[in-house]
Structure 1
């Protein structure tokens, strides 16, 4: 982590906004330009970069990572490199070892093998590692975690319980975007096109916000992104982040989608700062996100795809 990013973090005690890693297969040049825009225009504090979903995508972005990180740090953003969320092959294990050994930036561990490699070193525990209770929270902090990103399916009551026992340590909540629900060793995205995982032709690039999965009645209820199963709905905790901030949540994650993410970040920042009314912010978000409805059901202890006003 650069000294500039650490100083920026020390200057402010209010809840911070983070931009999660791009989960989808966006072209590498598009990702580069996206991060450049985030660096120059978005009021976000932390930016996560890296391939989380499929290791086959990683080589395309790799050449751009140094200049992306440099641009973000020059803009005062804290940069974190996210690791793969499902490590299976010898090649993936080797690449993860190299990343842990050589990265000059902070790391987000999204797999228990990465957490093992980072033992006693400062890192972030990502949302693909299940943290459901106080003992697990304490274990990862004692292992070296600086911050823990909670799973999306926790209810508000469960989050409140974890925050109340957290002793002032950093906790990050997923507050916007389609949420990752499950991972598979197989690639349904490729299979749906009659292809194998090894010969996928990167067809997931055709669905920059994920591919909708429908019931037999034609109702969309999930989304597929390569080997990842996601919510069809877009998680939206705009109305809950202020209460969570008061309870002790320190960071709120916004997952990138193919929408005007700078404007999305501005709305969440304004909500945290008390500079915009909830209804106005929600109306603008509804105009920006037109590919799926919003939901916050997990937080309210009901079906995850529901929106509770």
Structure 2
């Protein structure tokens, strides 16, 4: 059976940017060849450059361009104010929700609202995927650590669930109730002085041997390397994956999207695109998890490209 072609999606902004930068970014993204755009604060409750009402207004502007917009919920809820913002997202009726926490799943299930099961829900097996479907999920974002063969088995086991993969960007690895960026500056979490605003793409963390190891992003730990599955696009399509997620970064987003779209459209070879994309990545291209190895392993597609 002919599989639907892979479509590009844009994940939520994971970093802390100024309000005007966010607005300008989505004005630019609305003109890009993206099938779906996710919007909303997912990482830290202190990042309130945009309130829920602002996100909704911005989402309506982006949706007017013809793109499917999904509102992403916060990953780690710690207070009643966090729940209040979540309830506002669930109560609006204009956009679907990406549930990134079980509280969001519970609220959406109680209202009978179909939702996207986000990557942060950690769906690692067919049983959990089927459970999420029974609770109302119609679309899921695969966990970043899943190897190719494992993902193929899960897609085949629940074929009527739309599957999306995280295909480009620094990997969101873990979340904590502590703020690592505040700690770096010897500040308390509640008095962080919003230092994340000084690091557009996160704060790099190096080993004692000066090897790039991780990226600190407030309460979130990310990879240092840029995860890329572009060289695997035919494999993704053949196993039934529908959406290829690109994660926002501070610079070169239009170029990154253009190169991905050209490869998916068959007008450019993945190896050539990866050679060019490596200049925009902000780190080594990696795909170790996809190979069933350590996530920090270099992307094989780059080796084939001779870089």
TM-score using structure 2 length? 0.93
Aligned pair 1:305/2:286, yes or no? no
- In structure 1, runs of 5+ residues without a counterpart are 1-11
Residue 103 of structure 1: how far off its partner (Å) = 4.8
How far apart in 2 are the matches of 1:67 and 1:114? 21
Instruction: Kindly indicate whether the alpha-carbon contact (under 8 Å) linking 2:18 and 2:49 is maintained by their aligned counterparts in 1.
Output: no
CA RMSD of aligned residues (A): 1.5
SS of residue paired to 2:277:
helix
Question: 8 Å contact 1:32–1:64 — kept in the other structure?
Answer: no
- The equivalent residue for 2:82 is 92
Specify the alignment match of 1:261 in structure 2. Answer: 253
- Alignment partner of 1:128: what SS? helix
Query: Deviation string for 1:66-86 (max 9, x for gaps)?
Result: 442222212110000000000
Q: Residue 28 of structure 1 contacts residue 61 of structure 1 at CA under 8 Å; is this kept in 2?
A: no
Q: 1:257 to 1:130 in 2, by over 3 A?
A: same
Greater alpha carbon shift after TM alignment, 169-178 vs 13-22: 13-22
CA distance in 2 between partners of 1:273 and 1:168 (Å): 25
Query: Deviations along 1:36-67, whole A, 9 cap, x unmatched?
Result: 00112x10110000000001113535454244
Shift of 1:157: 1.0
Alignment of 1:178 onto 2:170: yes
Say whether residues 1:189 and 2:199 are aligned partners.
Answer: no
Task: Specify every segment of 5 or more residues in structure 2 that has no aligned partner in the other structure, as ranges.
Answer: 302-307
Structure 2: distance between partners of 1:262 and 1:299? 25
Alignment of 1:260-279 (within 5 A): 260-279=252-271
- Between the two proteins, the alignment pairs up a number of residues equal to 296
Native 8 Å contact 1:47 1:78 kept in 2: yes
Give the corresponding residue for 1:105: 95
Aligned equivalents of 2:159, 2:15: Cα separation in 1: 35
Provide the C-alpha distance between the structure 2 equivalents of 1:219 and 1:184, rounded to a whole number of angstroms.
23
In the alignment, is residue 53 of structure 1 matched against residue 43 of structure 2?
yes
CA shift at 1:15, angstroms?
A: 2.0
Structure 1 residue 219: Cα displacement: 1.7
* Structure 2 Cα separation of the partners of residues 142 and 263 of structure 1: 39
Change (3 A) 1:61 1:288: farther
TM-score by length of 1: 0.92
Please list the CA deviations of residues 171-228 of structure 1 after superposition, one character each: whole Å capped at 9, or x if unmatched.
0100000010000001010110011110001001111111111112222200110000
**Distance in 2 (alpha carbons) for counterparts of 1:28 and 1:209:** 16
Structure 2 SS opposite 1:241:
helix
Q: Which runs of 4+ in 1 moved over 6 A?
A: none
Q: Is the 8 A contact 2:52 2:89 kept in 1?
A: no
Partner residue in 1 for 2:214: 222
